[in-house]
A and B are shown apart, each in its own frame.
Chain A
Amino acid sequence: SQWGEENLQALSIQEGEDVTMNCSYKTYTTVVQWYRQKSGKGPALIILIRSNEREKRSGRLRATLDTSSQSSSLSITGTLATDTAVYFCATGNNNAGAKLTFGGGTRLTVRP
């Protein structure tokens, strides 16, 4: 799993497989956001899940949130080579102002 200053995690899978990435956070958050960063680009938001939701789906993406353990997961089903990227979770709340705290990230490589 990823958090804060932790080093980047790495996963390598075959195209078509399913994958789950985990994230744990330390402070209260109203929303967990998942960002994807493709090589040479800036991160971009792909899915978010609010603190009153346990699961959120968007196409092949599924995010879960467990506020009691302060953890979230991102699953991708039927991966494609184009899913190769670094995936970050990010959290924030009104008390933190406009700041987000990003996890260390998971580098996912999907082999064709």
Chain B
Amino acid sequence: EAAVTQSPRNKVAVTGGKVTLSCNQTNNHNNMYWYRQDTGHGLRLIHYSYGAGSTEKGDIPDGYKASRPSQENFSLILELATPSQTSVYFCASGDWGADYAEQFFGPGTRLTVL
């Protein structure tokens, strides 16, 4: 049973519109992450969270907001979507163990901004 789920799986939005991507995890992990993956590139960290009520900026936070209302849920918000935000977005959860932090990823959301 999938432990990290994302919705919607596909989204088409208009330029200037508001987009909310949702993520839910049943791993009971403290940390959650949002990445984007563009064709031919790796994963780039947008925002992350250490727990309910906390959000931190990742490497490319401009144009994005995040919200962590509970342990299980983490949302990524594009207040004014632009075509440059067309991408595949992945949510992940994880906890720092003794010496490393494995991350568990959701299936991704493909966002197209027209």
Which residues does A use to contact B, with CB under 8 Å? 2, 4-8, 30-31, 33, 40-45, 48, 50, 88, 90, 92, 94, 97-100, 102-105
Q: How far is the CA of A44 from the CA of B44 in the complex (A)?
A: 16
**Residues in chain B near residue A102, CB distance under 8 A:** 35, 42-43
Contact B99 A50 (CB under 8 A): yes
Interface bin, chain B: 20 to 34
Instruction: Show 8 residue pairs from A and B whose CB-CB distance is below 8 angstroms, ordered by the A residue.
Output: A5-B41, A5-B44, A6-B42, A30-B100, A43-B90, A92-B101, A94-B96, A98-B94
**Residues in chain B near residue A103, CB distance under 8 A:** 42
Q: By DSSP majority rule, is chain A's interface helix, strand, loop, or mixed?
A: loop
Among B56, B100, B102, max chain A CB count under 10 A is at B100
Which residues does B use to contact A, with CB under 8 Å? 4, 30-31, 33, 35, 40-45, 48, 50, 56, 58, 90, 92, 94-96, 99-108
**Residues in chain B near residue A2, CB distance under 8 A:** 42
Q: How far is the CA of A88 from the CA of B106 in the complex (A)?
A: 16
Q: How far is the CA of A31 from the CA of B98 in the complex (A)?
A: 11
**Residues in chain B near residue A5, CB distance under 8 A:** 41-42, 44
Q: Give the top 7 A-B pairs by smallest Cβ distance, nearest first.
A: A42-B105, A31-B100, A98-B31, A104-B42, A102-B43, A30-B99, A8-B40
